[in-house]
Amino acid sequence: MRRLAVYCGSATPADPRFTALAAEVGDGLARRGIGIVYGGGRLGLMGALAAAALAAGGEVIGVIPEALKTREIANPDCTQLLVVPGLHERKRAFTDLADGFVTLPGGVGTMDELWEALSWAQLGYHAKPVGLLNAFGFYETLLTFYREMGEAGFIRAAHRAILIAAPRLELLLDAMAAHRPHPPIIAMAAGDL
């Protein structure tokens, strides 16, 4: 994996562990020679991620929608800053530029990005690993819900392993490196759907 799209928020939570985590991920990826594609902001977790990666000599590509360029305070320090028309183009750029996806703790926008990466993988629009960093147990409820969707039959057995979760970055990266593509929906016979 040469580059990973990292999904995280522009908010700064009251709990400093989240900001420290984003900085650790930025630093950790840069030290492993893995470039980052992210939302292009310099505030909150986004800013901590990018600043740490850049300080460690890493590549950081920011992708920010035109309407959010000033609202999120675009990060001019990025290796490359792409300004796109909207959120759809932003997520498309994440998919086109990255070899996989890592989701850090975050809010609604972060969830939107995660679910789209999962949906596109399930359908077959990409075959890249989709990782969830479950630091501090932040995503336990979401992981339970994901399992329940599978048990209820809303996620096919062949697709349940698309979401790769781990509590620490090194474990997540190892699991993502071992990722094997699954049979995508667009390649399945109607009888298997």
How far CA 53 is from CA of 21, 27, 31, 67, 148, in Å, comes to 12, 5, 8, 25, 36
pLDDT for 184: 87
Cβ distance 153 to 193 under 8 Å? no
pLDDT for 185: 85
- The topology under which CATH files domain 3-183 is Rossmann fold (3.40.50)
Question: pLDDT confidence of 69, banded at 50, 70, 90?
Answer: confident
Question: pLDDT confidence of 193, banded at 50, 70, 90?
Answer: low
The chain-wide mean pLDDT, for the chain, equals: 95
Residue that wins the pLDDT comparison between 71 and 62? 62
Would the pTM of this model clear 0.75, i.e. be above it?
yes
pLDDT mean over 47-71: 94
Report which of 106, 103, 101, 115 is spatially closest to residue 179, judged by C-alpha positions.
Answer: 101
Exposed / middle / buried, residue 13 (Cβ in 10 Å: 0-12, 13-18, 19+): middle
The pLDDT of residue 70 is above 90: no
pLDDT mean over 179-185: 90
pLDDT mean over 78-92: 96
Side chain identity at residue 185, one-letter code: I
Question: pLDDT confidence of 186, banded at 50, 70, 90?
Answer: confident
pLDDT for 140: 98
Question: What percentage of residues in the chain have a pLDDT greater than 90?
Answer: 89
pLDDT mean over 1-26: 97
DSSP annotation string for 51-94: HHHHHTT--EEEEEEGGGTTTTTB-TTSSEEEEESSHHHHHHHH
Q: How far apart are CA 67 and CA 89, in angstroms?
A: 12
Secondary structure of residue 126 in the 3-state scheme = coil
Cβ distance 172 to 166 under 8 Å? yes
> How many C-beta neighbours within 10 Å does residue 179 have?
18
The pLDDT of residue 183 is above 90: no
The pLDDT of residue 72 is above 80: no
pLDDT mean over 165-173: 98
> What is the tens place of the pLDDT at every residue in 102-132?
999 999 999 999 999 999 999 999 999 999 9
The pLDDT of residue 190 is above 90: no
